[in-house]
Amino acid sequence: MVRYAPGADLWGEPLATLRRIQDEVNRAFGDQRWTPAAEFPPVNIWRAPDGLIITAEIPGVKLDAVDLTVHQNTLTLKGSRSPEAPGGETSWHRRERTYGPFSRVIELPYAVDPDHVKASVQHGVLSVELPRPETDKPRKINITAKS
């Protein structure tokens, strides 16, 4: 049970009590600050002056079941993950991993050069390098003084 100091102003800020309760729940469950990805596959996106790097977790997905396309400023990742079947007279005791078709459409901050996109997989992580076209990169403009 939560106890507050006598004379505590619980109504001074309308959400103060809810924030305190949320903090206590977070502490009770290990103060978990992240939330699992709601979509499959989960992705990370890094932005650099020369382009983007996107990584996606695709363990258990066969490469021939993955379709990766880029058009202007959109990357589409489609595929399908088949369930593992140990065979014999087995049945599921617990099933937490998702199976079946998946699709992620990722809007990019700028158009990329589709002719120079590179993709590779290592240890179940897909890595996609999306270079920024030279014509789209910011350029420094020199200013000259007129006399």
Asked if the model's pLDDT at residue 36 lies above 50, the reply is no
What integer best gives the mean pLDDT of the chain? 82
Answer yes or no: are the C-beta atoms of 109 and 73 closer than 8 Å: yes
* pLDDT in the model for residue 10: 54
36 vs 38, higher pLDDT: 38
User: What is the per-residue pLDDT for 37?
Assistant: 47
What is the domain class of 43-84+98-135 according to CATH? mainly beta
Determine the Cα–Cα distance for residues 48 and 142; give it in Å rounded to an integer: 23
Q: Is the pLDDT of residue 67 over 60?
A: yes
Q: Token digits for 11?
A: 């109504």
Which pLDDT value is given to residue 26?
Answer: 75
Asked if omega into 83 is within 30° of 0 (cis), the reply is no
pLDDT tens per residue across span 85-136: 777 788 777 777 778 899 999 999 888 888 899 999 999 999 999 998 887 7
What percentage of the chain exceeds 90 in pLDDT?
Answer: 37
Instruction: Assess whether pLDDT exceeds 50 at residue 23.
Output: yes
C-alpha 137/C-alpha 81 separation (Å) is 37
112 Cβ contact list (under 8 Å, min separation 6) = 51, 52, 70, 73, 75, 130, 131, 132, 133
